[in-house]
Amino acid sequence: MRNVLERVLIPLSKHLWECEVPLLVCQSIGFLGYIRLQIKEHTVIEAHPDNESPDLRLDQPWPALNDYLNSIDIEQLDQKEKSHVPPVAILHYYLNKYKDSHDGNVPQKRSEREQLQQMIKDSGHSEEGNNRFILEENFEQAIHYANTCATTKPIPDHVQTILDDDCCVKLTQNSSSFWIMCSALREMVQAEGALPLKGTLPDMAADTQSYITLQNIYQKQAQNQAESIYRRALEIIRNLGLPQDSITESEVKYFCKHSSELHLIRGSCLADEYQKTSLDLTSYLEDPDSLIFYYVILRGLERFLSEFNAYPGQLDDQVEPDILKLKGIINKLLNEWGYSHVLRDERVHEVCRYGGAELHSVSSILGGCAAQEVIKVITHQYKPLVNTFIYDLINSTSATFCL
């Protein structure tokens, strides 16, 4: 919704909050843009993290993986055979050697990981008739994976928070499929101390047969874990008296594959934000260049619009009087929140100079951003905006705030 008066926006916000329907408010004026997303509870299954390391589980290999990797004795292979060994097998071999000399512990610190990497580097060979030291591509990849795949990975904090949430622990007939699956996942994590396996392998230098064999082992384990969680989810559904088709097996498989990406977002009601007598902006107002000042101006602008039924500066002969009126409204707003800050005059003048104009370039960018947030909310993929987004085209900057 765009440019809705406070007297309409506040009751609408309350109603949608009670109905648990998301509300997206956009405002574009001059070179400024504003988006506010109101969402009571939003769960994300596939967050698409920017940096994600392969899920190899070499610190805790299950029997099938352990047997296969132990069957490959790297040092007994000739040079041609070594060049076709999957990097996972190489890393597993030298990780075991590292553990043998470190009381069975996997490397945790950077210096310890460097020791493991050096062990792999030392396994290279010199080219005949040449002093050049050769390290095959698969060994190079094994060194790379040693940075992230040879250590024990804890349960991510954002996932553990979900597993400890009351909605996960105390299920009811109104619990969504997400919370039912989380409850089944919680039991598995408590029993095994780890999340389900993703079941996918990155591309790596290896012969086709070895890669396919290894890939099948990972996929089989992931499938077994997903089936286990699915069976437990069905038990929970029966205990709650819900229909058996409340959760599908494909839904559980998708959930397990992305279990390390789970996020829970609980927002705040926009009406509460407008009706608060004290809004905590202390940490933001300390920075004189913070875009939070534009939020304050836009809130003052909305109040101006409600009081005078027109934008400040909309009439050429009223620009100067409107500047004084808007400054008075903004100062009153800040006093209501318990702040004595005074906004720079040029910022207020700039907004009044717009006269309520909406620029197509700003609106198009703002519309694109808003559309992205809507898609995130509908698909439960990627993490949506939490609360407030301010866009400043004057300096080509933007910022998000959780108010």
Coil, helix or strand at residue 356: coil
Rounded Cα gap, residues 297 and 34, in angstroms? 11
In order, the DSSP letters of 286-344 are TSTT-THHHHHHHHHHHHHHHHHSS-TT-SGGGHHHHHHHHHHHHHHHHHHTT------
Kindly calculate the radius of gyration of the chain based on its CA atoms and give it in whole angstroms. Answer: 29
pLDDT of residue 347: 84
So what's the pLDDT on residue 149?
87
Nearest Cα neighbor of 338 from 277, 261, 293 is: 277
Assess contact for 362 and 395: CB atoms under 8 A: no
Long-range contacts of 222-227 (CB under 8 A, 24+ apart): 222/196, 222/197, 222/198, 222/256, 222/257, 223/199, 223/253, 225/188, 225/196, 225/197, 225/256, 226/196, 226/252, 226/253, 226/256, 226/257
For residue 54, give the H/E element and its range.
none
Which regions in the chain score pLDDT beneath 70? Answer: 1-3, 125-133, 277-278
Q: Please tell me the predicted confidence (pLDDT) of residue 132.
A: 59
Q: Using CA atoms, how far apart are residues 357 and 195, in angstroms rounded to an integer?
A: 52
Can you list the domains of the chain with their CATH numbers?
6-40+269-401 (3.40.50.720), 63-145 (no CATH), 157-265 (no CATH)
Quick one: pLDDT at residue 175? 94
Which residue pairs from 132-140 have beta carbons closer than 8 angstroms and sit at least 24 positions apart in sequence?
136/82, 136/83, 136/205, 137/83, 137/205, 138/82, 138/83, 138/84, 138/85, 138/86, 138/87, 138/90, 138/204, 138/205, 138/206, 139/82, 139/87, 139/90
pLDDT of 366: 93
State pLDDT tens for residues 51-94: 888 899 998 899 999 999 999 988 888 888 888 899 999 999 99
Q: What is the pLDDT of residue 127?
A: 55
- Residues 67, 71, 74, 76: what is their CA dihedral angle, to the nearest 10 degrees? 160
User: Is this prediction's pTM over 0.95?
Assistant: no
